[in-house]
Amino acid sequence: MPYLLIFIAFWLAFSFSGEKWLSRTALLCLCLCGGYEAVLGLMQLAGFAVSGHPGYAMTGTFANPGPYGGFIAMPLAAGTVYLLERGGLLFKGKVADIVYDTVIFFSVFLCVIVLPATMSRAGWMGFIVAIALSLVRDGRIKRWISGRRWLLLAVAVVVVVCLTGIISLKHESALGRLHIWRIEARAIASGSFFGSGPGTVLGEYGKAQEEFFREKERADVAVQIAGCPEYPFNEYLGIGIEYGIPGLLMSLVIPASAIWNLIRHRNALGYALAALCVFAFFSYPMSLWPFRVCLALCLGAGFAIDPKIESRKNVLRIIVLSVSSVLLVLAAILLHRDIESETAAERKWQDAKYWSTAGLYEDSAEGLIPLYDRLKGNYRYLYDLGYALHKAERYAESNAVLEEGAKISCDPMFHNIIGKNYEAVEDYGNAEKEYLKSHYMVPSRLYPLTLLMDMYIRQGRTADAETVGKKIMSMSVNLRNLTMVRLRRETEGRLDSLKMNEAL
């Protein structure tokens, strides 16, 4: 709701302002935000500010450097294009214009320093594509290239080399993204034409990956890179899963139309939107509110009515801008309220988790249940609640919560605990199904098979237990993962015990 209000407010403002000042103001605000993020990142790098992630020195106000780099790419692209079209930093004209250009210049300068340091390949590509669009639109560049056809081949070679370098920079990560897109494409192809519904992208991903590994034996590379992502890492495919083919097409056509309109009217926000759209192909910007606000701003500007309409009057302009201001204030209030409400609920959630740490699972469950209405869209919360109910031996309630979590998450741990709940009430058939489902969702994990093996041993199904145990022993183990090493050692011990019992 807040983002729709932001879009409407900017659409009205850009449609009826009749002046370029609004575009200039929006660009200035975007560049100031980018400059602030860049300065904060440099302070984190120097040790004067705390990073948002213990594993990375520079994250800005974000939790990790991926989204940070993607956000930096937007003001960097828009500001760079603005300065290129202006012919650089010109110290002439009105004082206000000189100050404006100077602020844009220093924001761009700070962003261009920080963007490479973020190691955000998606952010780099967003910026490069945005600048490439600007160069293609520039008539002088076209005329210069037309007499130098060989340059196109040289550029193509450079692009291929750069892409190869970007991929090899984080080879395993790149393979992981390709695998995620492959599974998401399968989920779209096998799903409903109109999608599975909002919030279900990860749950559908888990189902598609399970089917992928159940179909046949897959290569070891596919097994090792398969995981349970927390985000779709491609907003377009994620929309395709949730809203089907119509949603996928709209997610491509709507931003492309806005970019075209903005660039056609020489509005630098179009290049910020282009950078965002490219970044969205590789990451998860729509999961974070700063990107949503920027998207609403750029779409509002992109779909504004042609500013050359002559029926516009000063009174109408004042009224519309007043309405837009009210809508923006209302959106800010709603957005702030939502963020504060969620933060307060998460604080209570963390407090309730301490009871689980102390082994007081009943108390933990009672503390978590009142937060359900506010946090039911958070699969981590649902897992914590379901696990607390499981440990409190409230198995039916636990399964109900965990099944809700499994619809919005691809983490196989939901099915492990559901299986343990079934096993606790001696429903071994369903327990076996859940353990196998968990195994095929992420086949490199040992834990689901160890649960299955233990259940077979308790049932006296020695032959089945040995079969599962041998499968576990044949699986690759990351020696740096102490849990996997421990599970394999325990499995080896159980197999030895089974062999000794058979000998006796």
Question: What mean pLDDT comes out for the span 449-471?
Answer: 92
For residue 329, is it within any domain?
no
DSSP-assigned states of every residue in 244-303:
HHHHHHHHHHHHHHHHHHHHHTT-THHHHHHHHHHHHTTS-GGGSHHHHHHHHHHHHHHT
For residue 313, is it within any domain?
no
pLDDT tens column, 264-288: 888 999 999 999 999 999 999 999 9
Q: Which of 307, 323, 350 is the last residue of a domain?
A: 307
For residue 106, is it within any domain?
yes
Report yes or no: 99 and 55 within 8 Å, Cβ to Cβ.
no
Predicted local distance difference test score (pLDDT) of residue 149: 62
The parent domain of residue 439 ranges over 340-503
Report the alpha-carbon distance of residue 130 to residue 152 in Å, rounded.
18
Q: Are residue 411 and residue 292 in the same domain, yes or no?
A: no
pTM to 2 decimal places:
0.88
Please count the other Cβ atoms lying within 10 Å of the Cβ belonging to residue 48.
9
For residue 321, is it within any domain?
no
pLDDT tens column, 30-58: 999 999 999 999 999 988 999 888 888 89
Q: Are residue 497 and residue 434 in the same domain, yes or no?
A: yes
Q: Are residue 190 and residue 73 in the same domain, yes or no?
A: yes
Q: Are residue 238 and residue 387 in the same domain, yes or no?
A: no
Predicted local distance difference test score (pLDDT) of residue 274: 96
Predicted local distance difference test score (pLDDT) of residue 311: 45
| pLDDT at position 28 over 70 | yes
Q: Which residue has the tokens 């237990």?
A: 465
Single out the residue of 227, 233, 242 nearest to residue 188, CA to CA.
242
pLDDT tens column, 68-79: 999 999 999 999
Q: What is the CATH number of the domain that holds 498?
A: 1.25.40.10
Q: Which range, 87-91, 219-223, 393-397, is most confident?
A: 393-397
What band does 503 get if pLDDT is binned at 50, 70 and 90?
low
| pLDDT at position 88 over 70 | no
Range with lowest mean pLDDT among 8-22, 121-135, 193-207: 8-22
Single out the residue of 383, 388, 387 nearest to residue 367, CA to CA.
388
Sign of CA dihedral 383, 60, 78, 149: negative
| Mean pLDDT over the full length of the chain | 87
pLDDT > 90: what percent of the chain? 53
Q: Are residue 344 and residue 302 in the same domain, yes or no?
A: no
pLDDT > 70: what percent of the chain? 88
3-state secondary structure of 151: helix
Sign of CA dihedral 270, 273, 277, 278: positive
Report yes or no: 375 and 345 within 8 Å, Cβ to Cβ.
yes
| pLDDT at position 416 over 50 | yes
Predicted local distance difference test score (pLDDT) of residue 284: 92
Task: Give the side-chain half-sphere CA count within 13 A for 383.
Answer: 15
Single out the residue of 106, 109, 33, 108 nearest to residue 77, CA to CA.
108
Predicted local distance difference test score (pLDDT) of residue 325: 81
Q: Does residue 348 or residue 164 have the better pLDDT?
A: 348
pLDDT tens column, 210-265: 999 998 888 888 888 988 999 999 999 999 999 999 999 999 999 999 999 999 88
For residue 335, is it within any domain?
no
Please count the other Cβ atoms lying within 10 Å of the Cβ belonging to residue 393.
12
Q: Are residue 479 and residue 348 in the same domain, yes or no?
A: yes
Single out the residue of 250, 256, 329, 265 nearest to residue 14, CA to CA.
265
Q: Which of 286, 307, 328 is the last residue of a domain?
A: 307
Residue type, 198: P
| pLDDT at position 309 over 50 | no
For residue 316, is it within any domain?
no
Range with lowest mean pLDDT among 246-255, 301-310, 346-355: 301-310
Single out the residue of 372, 386, 463 nearest to residue 421, CA to CA.
386
Q: Are residue 297 and residue 368 in the same domain, yes or no?
A: no
Q: What is the number of structural domains in the chain?
A: 2
- In sequence order, which residues have a C-beta less than 8 Å from that of residue 90 and are 6 or more positions away? 98, 101
Single out the residue of 77, 99, 101 nearest to residue 88, CA to CA.
101
Residue type, 281: F
| pLDDT at position 331 over 90 | no
Question: What is the SS3 assignment for 193-250?
Answer: CCCCCCCCHHHHHHHHHHHHHHHCCCCHHHHHHCCCCCCCCCHHHHHHHHHHHHHHHH
For residue 271, is it within any domain?
yes
274 Cα distance to chain centroid: 17
- Cα–Cα distance list, 205 to 190, 361, 384, 469 (Å): 11, 31, 21, 28
Q: Are residue 131 and residue 226 in the same domain, yes or no?
A: yes
pLDDT tens column, 91-126: 666 777 888 889 999 999 999 999 999 988 899 999
Q: Which residue has the tokens 């790419």?
A: 73
Predicted local distance difference test score (pLDDT) of residue 7: 86
Q: Are residue 373 and residue 263 in the same domain, yes or no?
A: no
Q: Are residue 350 and residue 297 in the same domain, yes or no?
A: no
Question: What mean pLDDT comes out for the span 4-29?
Answer: 82
Predicted local distance difference test score (pLDDT) of residue 334: 85
| pLDDT at position 357 over 90 | no
What band does 504 get if pLDDT is binned at 50, 70 and 90?
low
Report yes or no: 330 and 52 within 8 Å, Cβ to Cβ.
no
For residue 333, is it within any domain?
no
Q: Are residue 274 and residue 412 in the same domain, yes or no?
A: no
Q: Are residue 299 and residue 418 in the same domain, yes or no?
A: no
